[in-house]
Amino acid sequence: MPVLDCALPLRPVLWSVILASLLASNTAISNGGQDPALLVPLDRGALRQELDASQGRVVLVNLWATWCTPCLREIPDLLALEAELPAGDFRLLAISMDDPYSVDWVTEFKARHFPALASYINAEPDMDALVSTIDPVWNETLPTSYILNRDGEVVRKIQGKKPIEVFREQLIAAGL
């Protein structure tokens, strides 16, 4: 009987873990298919799957965090780009680099400030572990954006908040 008493309060937590695992392992969640209200945990393997599934499109991977003021100033420009560019040719893949254990708080923050932003959250205990999938020498500067061409190759790294025109120019240069 004590085992059942202990297990009952854990049930909602268990379902949360199962749901997060299923969402993180889902391949090819496109911006159009991901509910912006969700903040999906993303590890190295899932990031690689997302990038592979996005081949054929120009991809802008944006690393941001709730505590990064330049990041927060940049997100509206990235959302404007996402709205103006055809989904079949372009993908914004936003990844929160906040602590992996702060999913609830970051989800609340995003809902309040950027409800249209479809974003993932780093699920790796070390930020470098996730980013090394794209950039093995990342210097932990935020915001950092990577532009990948239609073949999935990183063709540009942009660090710090830049004007929307810089992103447009680099996306065009990448084949958009």
Q: How far is residue 169's CA from residue 176's CA, in Å, rounded to a whole number?
A: 10
Note the pLDDT of residue 32.
43
Structure-token match 């906040």, residue found:
98
Note the pLDDT of residue 7.
34
Structure tokens at 20: 């997060």
Note the pLDDT of residue 100.
87
Note the pLDDT of residue 33.
63
Q: How far is residue 63's CA from residue 124's CA, in Å, rounded to a whole number?
A: 14
pLDDT in tens, the chain (176 residues): 333 333 333 333 333 333 333 333 333 334 546 788 889 999 999 999 999 999 999 999 999 999 999 999 999 999 999 999 999 999 999 999 999 899 999 999 999 999 999 999 999 989 999 999 999 999 999 999 999 999 999 999 999 999 999 999 999 999 99
Give the three-state DSSP class for 3. helix
Q: How far is residue 165's CA from residue 176's CA, in Å, rounded to a whole number?
A: 14
Note the pLDDT of residue 22.
35
User: Please, what CATH class does the domain formed by 12-173 belong to?
Assistant: alpha beta
